[in-house]
Structure 1
Amino acid sequence: MGGFSPIHIIIVLLLVVLLFGAGRVSTLMGDVAKGIKSFKKGMAEEDDAPRRIADERPLDARPIPPASPPPAEAAAPVTPPPAATPDPDRHA
């Protein structure tokens, strides 16, 4: 009660073959197998990615020092303009 017996599985398989035909079922199963194989290949490539990145890194991996700015030329001293004295002849 409630479980699948071997006779249930056989009946379901016969109904699938009758509905879709033997050629269509074999094509469908082949597509499923290709999908599973592609999935496994993708998972294996994902697992290998960190190892490949580590292998591609150069052995002499010294950090490159940051470029220093070019030396600034000595700036000429800036002299402030002389303070303006008020003109006594001018009236505001």
Structure 2
Amino acid sequence: MLNNIGPAGLLLIAVVVLVLFGRGKIASLMGEVGKGITAFKRGVKDSTEEIENASTRTAGDGSDARDVTPPAAAPRERDNA
């Protein structure tokens, strides 16, 4: 249905929206959209930094790491009898 909208159709829609809402209302709406996008990006960045900080605190420098590998079993001698 929307595949047939060309440049003339988009221009007509823009004019109708401008007439209905007015230039000031559209400008304030775009400002709010911009603020929302900025807040979203800031939230994503803060979350990413928080995850990275948590992973570095968890990983540490490895000084408290210990080897938990079980000792290798001694090879058995086979009886040839």
Q: State whether TM-score is above 0.5.
A: yes
Q: Which of structure 1's runs of 4+ aligned residues deviate more than 4 A?
A: 54-62
Which structure's CA Rg is the greater one? 1
Percent of aligned positions that are identical? 27
The TM-score, its normalising length taken from structure 1, stands at: 0.55
The one-letter code sitting in structure 1 at the alignment partner of 2:37 is: I
Structure 1 alignment gaps of length 5 or more: 63-92
The TM-score, its normalising length taken from structure 2, stands at: 0.61
Structure 2 alignment gaps of length 5 or more: 65-81
RMSD: 2.5
Cα offset for 1:52?
2.2
Are 2:14 and 1:13 equivalent residues in the alignment?
yes
Q: Would you say how many aligned residue pairs link Structure 1 and Structure 2?
A: 63
CA distance in 1, matches of 2:32, 2:43: 16
More helix by share: 2
Bigger shift: residues 49-58 or 13-22: 49-58
